Amino acid sequence: MKLAYWMYAGPAHIGTLRVASSFKNVHAIMHAPLGDDYFNVMRSMLSREKNFTPVTTSVVDRNVLARGSQEKVVDNIIRKDAEEHPDLIVLTPTCTSSILQEDLHNFVERAQLEAKGDVMLADVNHYRFNELQAADRTLDQIVQYYIKKACKRDELPQGKTAKPSVNIIGNSTLGFHNNHDCTELKRLMADLGIEVNTIIPEGASVHDLKKLPQAWFNLVPYRELGLATANYLSEQFGTPYVDITPMGVVETARCIRKIQEVINAQGAEVNYEDFINEQTLYVSQAAWFSRSIDCQNLTGKKAVVFGDNTHAAGITKILSREMGIHVVWAGTYCKYDADWFREQVGEYCDEVLITDDHAEIGDAIARVEPSAIFGTQMERHVGKRLDIPCGVIASPIHVQNFPIGYKPFLGYEGTNQITDLIYNSFTLGMEDHLLEIFGGHDTKEVITKGISAESDLNWTKDGQAELNKIPGFVRGKVKRNTEKFARERGLKEINAEVLYAAKEAVGA
Amino acid sequence: MTIAQQPEALNFECETGNYHTFCPISCVAWLYQKIEDSFFLVIGTKTCGYFLQNAMGVMIFAEPRYAMAELEEGDISAQLNDYEELKRLCLQIKRDRNPSVIVWIGTCTTEIIKTDLEGLAPKLEAEIGIPIVVARANGLDYAFTQGEDTVLAAMANRCPSKAPKALTETDKSDERNPIQKLLNFGKKKEEVIQEESEYVDHPPLILFGSLPDPVVTQLTLELKKQGIKVSGWLPAKRFTELPIIEEGYYVAGVNPFLSRTATTLMRRRKCKLIGAPFPIGPDGTRAWVEKICSVFGITPQGLDEREAQIWASLEDYVKLIRGKSVFFMGDNLLEISQARFLVRCGMMVHEVGIPYMDKRYQAAELALLEKTCQEMGVPLPKIVEKPDNYNQVQRIYELKPDLVITGMAHANPLEARGINTKWSVEFTFAQIHGFTNARDLLELVTRPLRRNNNLKDLGWDKLVKEEAKI
Q: Per-residue pLDDT for B76 more than 50?
A: yes
> Quick one: pLDDT band at residue B172, thresholds 50, 70, 90?
very low
Check if A363 is active-site. Answer: no
Among the partner-chain residues A1, A40, A44, the one whose CB lies closest to the CB of B69 is: A1
Q: What is the pLDDT of residue B235?
A: 95
Name residues whose C-beta falls within 8 Å of residue A356's C-beta, 6 or more positions apart in sequence.
Answer: A7, A8, A9, A333, A335
Q: A37 and B409 in contact by Cβ < 8 A?
A: yes
Nearest to B107 by CA among A74, A384, A33, A302: A33
Is B293 labelled as part of a ligand binding site?
no
The answer to whether the beta carbons of residues B140 and A62 sit under 8 Å apart is yes
**Low-confidence winner among A238-242, B363-367, B452-456 (lowest mean pLDDT):** B452-456
pLDDT higher for B161 or A195?
A195
* pLDDT more than 90, % of chain B: 77
pLDDT in tens, A133-155: 999 999 999 999 999 999 999 99
Q: What is the mean pLDDT of residues B150-170?
A: 78
- What is the reported pLDDT for A461? 86
Quickly state the pLDDT bin for A436 (edges 50, 70, 90). low
Residue B21 to residue A14, Cβ atoms within 8 A: no
Q: Among partner residues A50, A65, A100, which is closest to B413 by beta-carbon distance?
A: A50
Helices (H), A219-357: 227-237, 249-264, 273-278, 286-291, 293-296, 309-317, 323, 338-345
* Residues annotated in a binding site of A for substrate: 429-430
Kindly report whether the peptide bond that precedes residue B256 is cis, defined as omega within 30 degrees of 0: no
d(CA A365, CA A477): 12
Residue B270 has pLDDT above 80, yes or no: yes
pLDDT attached to residue A450: 43
ipTM given for this complex: 0.88
> Do A126 and B111 count as a contact with CB atoms less than 8 A apart?
no
User: Is pLDDT of A489 > 60?
Assistant: yes
**Quick check: A469 pLDDT over 90?**
no
**Least CA distance to A14: which residue of chain B?**
B47
* Nearest CA-CA distance, residue A119 and chain B, Å: 20
Q: Which of A35, A42, A85 sits opposite B54 (nearest CB)?
A: A42
Closest partner residue to A4 (CB to CB) among B70, B144, B464 is B70
CB contact under 8 A, B52 and A10: no
Counting one residue from A and one from B, how many pairs have CB atoms under 8 Å apart?
165
| pLDDT mean across residues, chain A | 90
In the sheet that holds B66-70, the strands lie side by side as A2-4, B66-70, B38-44, B101-106, B132-136
For residue A427, the model assigns a pLDDT of 66
Which of B80, B409, B463 comes nearest A40 by C-beta?
Answer: B409
Crossing angle of helices B146-156 and B259-267, in 10° steps, is 20
The verdict on a CB contact (< 8 Å) between A99 and B113 is: yes
For the cut 90, the answer to whether the pLDDT of residue A81 exceeds it is yes
Q: How far is CA B301 from CA B250, B290, B293, B298, in A?
A: 21, 9, 10, 9
The pLDDT of residue B170 is 43
Q: Which residues of A touch B73 (CB under 8 A)?
A: 127-128
Statement: residue B166 has pLDDT above 80: no
Which residue in chain A is spatially nearest to B418 when comparing CA positions? Answer: A50
Predicted local distance difference test score (pLDDT) of residue B39 = 96
Buried b (16+ CB within 10 A) or exposed e, A475-494: bbbbbbbbbebbeeeebeeb
| Residues in Cβ contact with A505 at an 8 Å cutoff, skipping those fewer than 6 apart | A485
> Does the pLDDT at position B134 exceed 70?
yes
Q: Which residues of A touch B17 (CB under 8 A)?
A: 34, 59, 61
Of A5, A128, A384, which is closest to B68 when you measure between CB atoms? A5
Nearest residue in chain A measured CA to CA from B409: A41
Reported as a single tens digit per residue, the pLDDT across A43-57 is 998 888 999 999 999
Asked if A61 and B141 come within 8 Å (Cβ–Cβ), the reply is yes
Are B47 and A34 an interchain contact pair (Cβ–Cβ within 8 Å)? Answer: no
pLDDT tier at A443 (50, 70, 90 boundaries)?
A: very low
- Please say if the pLDDT value at position B168 is more than 60: no
Confidence of residue B467 (pLDDT cuts 50, 70, 90): low
Q: What per-residue confidence (pLDDT) applies to B317?
A: 95
Which of the following is catalytic: A87, A208, A294, A420?
A294
Mean pLDDT of B391-416: 95
Does the pLDDT at position A447 exceed 50? no
pLDDT tens string B316-360: 999 999 999 999 999 999 999 999 999 999 999 999 999 999 999
Q: Is the pLDDT of residue A279 over 80?
A: yes
Interchain proximity B18–A96, CB inside 8 Å: no
B27 contacts on A by Cβ (under 8 Å): none
Residue A92 above 50 pLDDT?
A: yes
Which among A41, A79, A100 is the top mutation candidate for probing chain B, defined by the most B β-carbons within 10 Å of its own β-carbon? A41
pLDDT tens-digit profile of B273-326?
Answer: 999 999 999 999 999 999 999 999 999 999 999 999 999 999 999 999 999 999
Q: What is the pTM of this model?
A: 0.88
Contacting residues of B for A83, CB less than 8 Å apart? 390
A36–B408 CB contact, under 8 Å: no
- Judged against a pLDDT cut of 60, whether residue B4 lies above it is answered with no
A contacts of B76 (beta carbons < 8 Å): 99, 127
Q: Nearest residue on chain A to B86, judged by CA atoms? A: A1
Most A CBs within 10 A among B14, B15, B16, B20, hence the mutation to make, goes to: B20
pLDDT (mean) for B159-177: 57
| A291-309 confidence digits (pLDDT tens) | 888 788 888 899 999 999 9
Across the interface, whether the CB atoms of A44 and B463 are under 8 A apart is answered no
Helix axes B46-55 and A38-46, enclosed angle (nearest 10): 40
- Per CB-CB distance under 8 Å, the chain A contacts of B95 are none
- Give mean pLDDT, residues A200-213: 96
Give A16-33 pLDDT, tens digit per residue.
Answer: 999 999 999 999 999 999
Tell me whether residues B408 and A34 touch, CB distance under 8 A.
no
% residues pLDDT > 90 (chain A): 69
A59 CB neighbours in chain B (<8 A) are 17-18
CA distance A238 to chain B (A): 38
Nearest CA in chain B to A50: B413
Higher pLDDT, A346 or B2: A346
B143/A13 touch (CB, cutoff 8 Å), yes or no: no
* Helix (H), strand (E) at residue A302: strand A302-307
Alpha-carbon torsion B289, B293, B296, B301, what sign?
positive
- How near does any CA of chain B get to the CA of A309, in Å? 20
Binding residues of A for [4Fe-4S] cluster are: 36
Q: For the segment B182-198, what is each residue's pLDDT rounded down to a tens digit?
A: 555 444 444 544 555 68
Q: Residue B259 burial (CB < 10 Å; 0-12/13-18/19+)?
A: buried
CB contact under 8 A, A65 and B140: yes
Closest residue of chain B to A5, computed from CA coordinates = B67
Q: Which residue among A7, A10, A44 places its CB closest to the CB of B409?
A: A44
- A64-73 contacts at long range (C-beta below 8 A, 24 or more positions apart): A64/A100, A65/A100, A65/B111, A65/B112, A65/B140, A68/A102, A69/A31, A69/A102, A69/A107, A73/A29, A73/A31, A73/A102, A73/A104, A73/A107, A73/A111
A434 pLDDT tier (thresholds 50, 70, 90):
low
DSSP-derived letter for residue A310 is: H
DSSP state of A318: I
Q: Is the pLDDT of residue A445 over 60?
A: no
Q: Report the residue of chain A nearest B355, measured CA to CA.
A: A34
Task: Name the pLDDT band for A484 (thresholds 50, 70, 90).
Answer: confident
Q: What is the mean pLDDT of residues A420-445?
A: 65
Instruction: Name the residue among B52, B67, B470 with its Cβ closest to that of A85.
Output: B470
In this complex, do B46 and A45 lie within 8 Å of one another by their Cβ atoms? no
Three-point CA angle A384, A39, A93, nearest 5°: 125
Contact A19, B5 (CB under 8 A): no
- What pLDDT, on the 0 to 100 scale, is given for residue A435? 65
Q: A378: which chain B residues are within 8 Å (Cβ-Cβ)?
A: 61
Residue B78: closest C-alpha in chain A? A1
Contact (CB<8Å) A35/B24: yes
| Residues of chain A positioned with their CB less than 8 A from the CB of B413 | 44, 49-53
The pLDDT assigned to A444 comes to 45
CB-CB neighbors (< 8 A) of A60 in chain B: 108, 140
How many CB atoms lie under 10 A from the CB of residue B86? Answer: 24
pLDDT of res. B466: 63
